[in-house]
Amino acid sequence: MNTFAQGVTSLGGRIMIATIFLLSAIGNKIPQFNALSGYMASEGVPAPQLMLVGAIVFLIVGSISLVLGFKARVGAVLLLVFLVLATYYFHDFWNFSGADRQNQMIQFMKNLSMMGTMAFVVANGPGAYSLDRRLATVKQQSS
């Protein structure tokens, strides 16, 4: 694959990865803040309003970080932390039975795959056409 194709593919992948997180924050969590914090309290989340504000910040900052490829490893860690907590509190399939158990297991596995994506970004960086890559190139050239 040539450099241009790698760059476009990398950028497109980061945009696709970030979309679910950014839209979740802007389209769901912010407009439904009171209802969601109440739901979080009912699920046993401590300090639900504070945790929801934190989730929104992690989702927005992590998404923008991934899209731009700026401090993408940090952004991926923010999204990984969000996913671990959300999965534990809201997709605890082991506490369900029947169809509900199956539905929660599907959501758990979906989140697990996104956790793997975040681990991959942490390990490998954002790839081509990223600010992280550009800044590293500029730094090498000035050395």
Q: With respect to residue 50, please indicate whether it lies within any of the assigned structural domains.
A: yes
- Give the domain extent around 41: 3-129
Kindly list the averaged pLDDT for each block of 10 residues, start to end, along the chain of length 143. Answer: 90 97 98 98 96 98 97 98 97 96 97 98 94 90 84
- In 3D space, the residue among 65, 85, 90, 79 whose CA is nearest the CA of residue 114 turns out to be 79
Q: Looking at residue 3, what is its pLDDT?
A: 87
Q: Is 100 left (phi over 0), alpha (psi -120 to 50) or beta?
A: alpha
Q: With respect to residue 98, please indicate whether it lies within any of the assigned structural domains.
A: yes
Q: With respect to residue 140, please indicate whether it lies within any of the assigned structural domains.
A: no
Domains identified in the chain, total number:
1
Burial of residue 3 (CB within 10 Å: 0-12, 13-18, 19+) is exposed
Q: With respect to residue 136, please indicate whether it lies within any of the assigned structural domains.
A: no
Q: Looking at residue 113, what is its pLDDT?
A: 98
Q: With respect to residue 54, please indicate whether it lies within any of the assigned structural domains.
A: yes
Q: Looking at residue 95, what is its pLDDT?
A: 94
Between CA 37 and CA 79 the distance in angstroms is 19
